[in-house]
Amino acid sequence: MTAVGDGLSRRPVPRARGGAVQSVRDSLVVAQRNLIRMMRIPEVVIFGLVQPIMFVVLFSYVFGGSIAVGGSTDPSTYRQFLMAGIFAQTVTFATAGAGAGIADDMHKGLIDRFRSLPMARGAVLTGRTLADLVQTALTLVVLAIVAVIVGWRVHNGIPKALAGFALLLLLGYAFSWIGALIGLSVRTPEAATSGGLIWLFPLTFISNAFVPADNMPTVLRHIAEWNPFSATVQAARQLFGNLPPGYPVPSAWPMQHPVWASLIWSVVIVLVFRSLSVRKYRSATA
């Protein structure tokens, strides 16, 4: 225990117990709390499912016959090409919700109550991001079912398909730490939502998610080819077997080795933004 005060009275503040095991245990407790909260507000989950389903239907049937992929304008070819991009967009757009949730907890004083407990300081953020990861995984399951209904298929077997989904979830988990940092840096949940989306739109649209990058102007093409979002989309397409015949693979290293590029990008983002988020959390609640 440590004591803090104004010199006249001293109030004990619990000190967090150390150790990796304790940190993991605290993180799981916080994750459980957030999952229970999500279950009690089902409309949040439902609305989170509606948007990606709309994207699947709209892009598949509105743009399906208008965009050439690998020299083909067949709508079914575009649906195979599209789905990895929709999956990746779904896991990354969950970042805004993660940031808004953390900002809401800060605004309501819940974080201050957590600080009064002898728990690992990073457990609050880790637990929140893990809960968001579970919600994102459930969303991907539903979205994959919808994709199968509209004609999407995997062609390289179940193990590689699962590896593709694992890379997508890893990217979503990495981006949730960016959302956590945004949530800790603003004053209201509304600002966190806006701040969480404003950088996601250029990131997802200046990529190979919805159109081949070789159709873009030179500068945008280079940005798209080195975009971590594009690397994960390319890796998922490769693992799903959704790259159409004749599809030109850019010479950029991330596009030539998308699985490794996706892993490297995601791990680097987690390491950097988790460190920044935990530091921000400590300074914001000190």
Mean pLDDT for each 10-residue chunk of the chain (286 residues)?
42 52 82 80 75 80 71 77 91 82 75 70 82 89 89 91 96 92 84 83 90 87 94 95 83 93 96 91 68
d(CA 24, CA 285): 21
- The per-residue pLDDT for 227 is 94
Q: Where are the beta strands (DSSP E) in the chain?
A: 2-5, 10-13
Residue 224, class by beta-carbon neighbours within 10 Å (0-12 exposed, 13-18 middle, 19+ buried)? buried
Three-class secondary structure of residue 125 per DSSP = helix
Residue 158's contacts (CB-CB under 8 Å, 6 or more residues apart) are none
- The per-residue pLDDT for 261 is 96
Backbone angles phi, psi at 2, to 5 degrees: -120, 165
Q: Give the Å distances, CA to CA, from 243 to 8, 27, 137, 167, 284.
A: 71, 39, 24, 17, 46
What six digits make up the tokens of 216?
């873009």
What six digits make up the tokens of 209?
């998610």
d(CA 258, CA 167): 10
- The per-residue pLDDT for 70 is 67
Give pairs for 2-8: CB < 8 Å, separation 24+: none
- The per-residue pLDDT for 191 is 83
- The per-residue pLDDT for 65 is 63
Q: Which helix (H) or strand (E) holds 114?
A: helix 110-115
> Could you tell me the pTM of the whole model?
0.85
Residue 94's contacts (CB-CB under 8 Å, 6 or more residues apart) are 48, 132, 135, 136, 139, 172, 175, 176, 179
d(CA 179, CA 132): 11
Q: Tell me the β-bridge partners of 4.
A: 11
d(CA 192, CA 151): 36
- The per-residue pLDDT for 14 is 47
Q: Give the Å distances, CA to CA, from 189 to 35, 38, 110, 129, 185.
A: 19, 16, 14, 16, 11
What six digits make up the tokens of 101?
């949730």
| Dihedral angle over CA of 181, 184, 188, 192, nearest 10 | 0
